[in-house]
Amino acid sequence: MSSFYLTTPIYYVNDKPHIGHAYTTILGDVITRYHRAMGEDVWFLTGTDEHGQKVQKAAAEHNMTPIEQCNSTVVRFQELWRKLGIRNDDFIRTTEERHKEIVRMILQDLYDRDLIYKAQYQGHYCVPCERFFTDKDLVEGNLCPDCRRPTNEIVESNYFFRMSRYQEWLIDYIQTHPGFILPAYRANETLGFLKKPLEDLCISRPKSRLSWGIELPFDPDYVCYVWFDALINYISAIGYGKDPARFEKYWKNAHHLIGKDILTTHTVYWPTMLKAIGLEPPQTILAHGWWLIGKDKMSKSRGNVVNPMEMAEKYGVDAFRYFLLSEMSLGQDAAFSEEAFVARYNSDLANDLGNMLSRAVKLTLRYFDGKIPAPGVFEMIDKQLYGQVAEAVDGMEKAVRELRLDRGIEQVIGVVRAANRYMEQTAPWTLAKKGEMDRLGTVLYVASETLRIVGGLLQPVMPEKMDRLLKTLGVSGSFRFEDLRNVGGLVPGQAISDIDALFPRIQPLEPETAGNTKKAEAKKADPKKAEQGNAADSSAKHAAPEGVAITIDDFAKVQLKTARVLAADKVEGTEKLLRLQLEVGGEKRQIVSGIAKFYKPEELVGKTIVIVANLKPVKIRGVESCGMLLAAGSGERLSLVTVDRPDFPSGASVG
């Protein structure tokens, strides 16, 4: 049996968990549930990072000792994971002896081999990020380049890990292992970072400044740097240095989920540490995007943090899990709003999946005494729906392997919409009136069997709701993918049960929500037309009606900026849409545009184009588009608006 080992970051215990923590952990839970359904030996690790200056500071503010701070905060994470249905195999705390013992062992080994040395250090230290920066790293004088908060200048003796020794090895490893850092443009970011000389890493803090940490085994006056300590949890938790057989089984197929804000620590610090220890890097490091409120990242200082516990309690855990997994595309930022949540819930779950289940169940109860009917002859329309179901099973497995769950979910919901169209086209209520019971039995069997497979495919995402759906159809248990590949799993004569609305419709909160729902319904009614409309929105080929004048104030509302194209590829299942990965100043974003007829993806990479930067994000064929590129159109010709100087920076204002 093949193994699969997945980790989340370990979360700081200086404050309560927020939606970013919830998303990463739900993503990990869903991925590992799918891999279990593939028959793999899965180990899913999460936990808490309990050392460092932020924890010590939070403890002082709460008039606690650091371990009391840790003990009081860790339960918030553990309670939330239980609430959200997280099925992790282990939960590691860096204050546990099993972890500290391995950290001390590694530190001593590196020190004995002269890979750790002592030297004088002068630099700028950011307490929130717990990182040192050089003068050239700082922005606007004395600000941290990551969190933009003031840094403290420090001069002190410290211990350093010879990270610089592994720079060329790491560059070569990233270039020869294309799946190591995902998405691919995150690998390019790391390679860009490595163009500058890599400095050695300070791995200690003097106890005179910070006492809360793992004491260095070779110098009791120092504690270990929190990031060096924390990263080792990924191997200490699975038996490194203690249980070689268990460690080998899981580490050979290890995968890390992280947020993009900790990319450098995981793609530079961690692989060089592993190389020094004598271990191979993990198979994959997936850096996902941020959840935004509008255009802003959620942060406590801005007061815009979404409490996942409140959302789960208000709308249900499974609906919350579904929204997070379906809304965020691989590696991209995603905008969170309650209006968007309600719109997607009503469209995908209440209108589509809930309605389909209700139809199939009510008709079976009425015309077949609540028992699965025996199918007769399958007609072409039945076989076509089964064909779409089979494609969705393969599509979901592919999406899981590629860590692109939103695409797999979109394909499954596409099957649900196809099943609703199938019911309209076969009209079982009319068959009943005509007394065509054999044909009616076939239609209801096909509909119910489709629901069985859909329920299995979405069970990792919505375990409680899909268990209810499956029990309604008279089946239970966790499915494996092979169970879903063969239609005919429902046994004729099996009793089904009645069910209230699986996803009761939610009253839209604002007019904006109604607009989103109408777009979703329009897409269901005519997906090609919706795609064409969205592509037109994205590529800016239409203008205001001739003769309509605007003021300079109107124009000032539109933010036009230059953007460099980092990567481009076709949107799966479409002919017109391209997905562009852009650099806009220091920001990375994604745009979907209907220009595939005019440009090949490889022609776009490296171009500096002009975009509308403040357009509200939208989903186009399940792919988020954050902005709109400018193009000139004339008949069957189209040309992008570009900058004529190839060295012109991205993020510059246009106007």
Q: Which of 357-361, 490-494, 525-529, 538-542 has the lowest mean pLDDT?
A: 538-542
Q: How confident is the model at residue 572 (pLDDT cuts 50, 70, 90)?
A: confident
Does residue 97 surpass a pLDDT of 50? yes
For 382-399, what is each residue's pLDDT tens digit? 999 999 999 999 999 999
Does residue 93 surpass a pLDDT of 90? yes
Tokens of 510: 């604002």
Pairwise CA distance, residues 49 & 10, whole Å: 5
Which residues, at least 6 apart from 156, have a Cβ–Cβ distance to it below 8 Å?
120, 121, 206, 209
Pairwise CA distance, residues 19 & 60, whole Å: 26
Does residue 493 surpass a pLDDT of 50? yes
**In the prediction, which pLDDT does 304 show?**
60
**In the prediction, which pLDDT does 303 show?**
60
**In the prediction, which pLDDT does 582 show?**
86
Q: How confident is the model at residue 298 (pLDDT cuts 50, 70, 90)?
A: low
**Model-level pTM greater than 0.85?**
no
For 586-600, what is each residue's pLDDT tens digit? 677 898 998 988 887
Which residues, at least 6 apart from 425, have a Cβ–Cβ distance to it below 8 Å?
381
Pairwise CA distance, residues 313 & 291, whole Å: 20
For 439-489, what is each residue's pLDDT tens digit? 999 999 999 999 999 999 999 999 999 999 999 999 988 789 999 998 999
**In the prediction, which pLDDT does 334 show?**
87
Does residue 135 surpass a pLDDT of 90? no
Instruction: Find out if CATH 2.40.50.140 is the number for domain 527-654.
Output: yes
Give whole-number Cα distances, 406 to 30, 177, 329, 331, 396, in Å: 12, 24, 6, 11, 9
DSSP collapsed to 3 states, 505-564:
CCCCCCHHHHHHHHHHHHHHHCHHHHHHHHHHHHHCCCCCCCCCCCCHHHHHCCCEEEEE
Q: Which of 72-81, 233-242, 294-303 has the lowest mean pLDDT?
A: 294-303
**In the prediction, which pLDDT does 294 show?**
64
Extended beta strands in 140-283, E state:
152-161, 181-182, 201-202, 204-206, 215-216, 219-224, 254-259
Q: Which of 54-68, 141-155, 613-627 has the lowest mean pLDDT?
A: 613-627
Sign of CA dihedral 583, 585, 590, 595: negative
Q: Which of 28-42, 62-76, 159-173, 516-530 has the lowest mean pLDDT?
A: 516-530
**In the prediction, which pLDDT does 525 show?**
42
Of residues 643 and 422, which shows the higher confidence score?
A: 422
Of residues 216 and 58, which shows the higher confidence score?
A: 216
For 207-241, what is each residue's pLDDT tens digit? 998 899 999 999 999 999 999 999 999 999 999 99
Backbone φ and ψ of 348, nearest 5°:
-80, -45
Q: How confident is the model at residue 556 (pLDDT cuts 50, 70, 90)?
A: low
Which residues, at least 6 apart from 211, have a Cβ–Cβ distance to it below 8 Å?
56, 223
**In the prediction, which pLDDT does 636 show?**
65
**In the prediction, which pLDDT does 11 show?**
94
What is the pLDDT averaged over residues 285-312?
A: 74
In the chain, CATH 2.40.50.140 sits at 527-654
**In the prediction, which pLDDT does 181 show?**
97
CATH, range 337-525: 1.10.730.10
In the chain, CATH 1.10.730.10 sits at 337-525
Q: Which of 278-282, 522-526, 534-538 has the highest mean pLDDT?
A: 278-282
Of residues 585 and 59, which shows the higher confidence score?
A: 59
Nearest to 172 by CA among 285, 281, 254: 281
Tokens of 160: 């350093």
Does residue 532 surpass a pLDDT of 80? no
